[in-house]
Amino acid sequence: MVTLIITALLPVYIGLALGFFAGKRHLVDNQNVASLNVLLMQFALPLTLFVSIARTPQRVIIENGPLALVLAGGLLIVYLAVFYVQRRVYRLSLGDSAVQTLTIAFPNFASIGLPLLIPIFGQSAALPVAIAIAVGSITISPLTLALIEMHRAQENQHGQPASAARQFIVALGHSVQKPIFIGPVLGLVVALSGISLPAIVGTALGPMTSATAGVGLFLTGLMLSAQPIHLGSNVVFGTLVKNVIQPLVVLGLVLLFGIPWQIGVQAVLLTAIPAGFFGLVFGASAGLRPPVSGATLVVSSVLGAITLSLAIYVWAPAH
């Protein structure tokens, strides 16, 4: 089991450390990471998920249907609860609350999912990672975008803002047009149709897809290096919810709905992944950079070495 934990986590934290080192030493600009983010989110990751899912047998995809339900429940329950706390307890603005809530509720699937699960479950782990990203992309991501748009409308005082329902629908429409959503969906269409993906496709995309995990981890480390760390009760709260409570919520849903354990353990391990950077990316595009979100991202990622190790030890299948 110790070997399994090291195999799963060592590549993750080496990649994070290299990105962090490069940012701190100013070898790479850690303030302007838009280009690396585009490389990861619009090219490398969507292509990787497309190829991996398209190669997955139809039967395996159907069997993983309950995974989407459990992940959606776990993400939404935590999102709504955390947003309420941010607004009512910590009194953050609407926009800052949205950024902080997404930072906590949306694990870093994009960067850590593949390098974490592949050593444990093999190449088939690309499917649950794709499902996790897709679920977050059509649930809590557009909800966050809608809240940020509401915040901007209120700040700019451009008359009466559109209804929350309309803003959510517009944001949802935008999210499903993104490559990070289209890639997995196209892969699902190919796999469910029974079409065999030509080997030449995987070969042609190989140089790009093989770089996905490394780029994702490096980018996350780079972003961590630019975040100030000011510990406070909100940071502690966010880290506790993300690293401990969210996987326990998902575990409860797995047991409640009688989800097969092979699927359930993947859901638990995925939601045990530390906080993600989507909240900071969404916020930066609107001029929102709440320090608490950066600190939460850093602390959650650092403590994730301990909490992820415990999660793997307790729930990962023995090899």
Look-up of token digits 């391990």:
269
Answer yes or no: is pLDDT of 200 > 90: yes
Answer yes or no: is pLDDT of 46 > 60: yes
Mean pLDDT of 276-294: 80
Encode burial over 153-188: b for 16+ CB neighbours within 10 A, e otherwise.
beeeeeeebeeeeebbeebbeebeeebbbbbbbbbb
Answer yes or no: is pLDDT of 5 > 70: no
Q: CA neighbours within 13 Å on the CB side: how many for 92?
A: 23
What is the structure's pLDDT at 78? 98
Q: Which long-range contacts (CB under 8 A, 24 or more apart) does 247-251 make?
A: 247/271, 247/272, 247/311, 249/74, 249/77, 249/78, 250/70, 250/71, 250/73, 250/74
> Could you read off the pLDDT of 239-252 as tens digits, one per residue?
999 999 999 999 99
Please choose, from the candidates 138, 105, 111, 5, the residue with its C-alpha nearest in 3D space to the C-alpha of residue 48: 111
pTM greater than the 0.85 cutoff? no
Mean pLDDT of 195-208: 90
pLDDT band (50, 70, 90) for residue 69: very high
Q: Across the chain, where does the E strand assignment appear?
A: none
Number of domains in the chain: 1
Helix, coil or strand: residue 275: strand
pLDDT band (50, 70, 90) for residue 97: very high
Q: CA neighbours within 13 Å on the CB side: how many for 218?
A: 16
- Phi first, then psi, for residue 275 (nearest 5°) are -60, 150
- What stretch of H or E contains 236? helix 233-240
Alpha carbons 309 and 315: distance in angstroms, whole number = 10
pLDDT band (50, 70, 90) for residue 42: confident
Q: Let me know: does 275 contact 297? Beta carbons within 8 Å.
A: yes
Torsion-angle region of residue 152: left (phi > 0), alpha (psi -120 to 50) or beta?
alpha
- What stretch of H or E contains 107? none
Q: Let me know: does 307 contact 244? Beta carbons within 8 Å.
A: yes
What is the structure's pLDDT at 285? 65
CATH number of the domain where residue 220 is located = 1.20.1530.20
Look-up of token digits 């939601």:
271
Which residue range is the domain that position 108 belongs to?
Answer: 2-315
In total, the chain counts a number of residues equal to 319
Residues 6+ apart with CB under 8 A from 99: 144, 148, 279, 280, 282, 283, 288, 290, 293
Alpha carbons 119 and 6: distance in angstroms, whole number = 10
Answer yes or no: is pLDDT of 302 > 90: no
Answer yes or no: is pLDDT of 118 > 60: yes
pLDDT band (50, 70, 90) for residue 228: confident
- Phi first, then psi, for residue 93 (nearest 5°) are -65, 165
Structure tokens at 168: 């959510």
Greatest alpha-carbon pair distance for the chain in Å reads 61
> Could you read off the pLDDT of 80-89 as tens digits, one per residue?
999 999 999 9
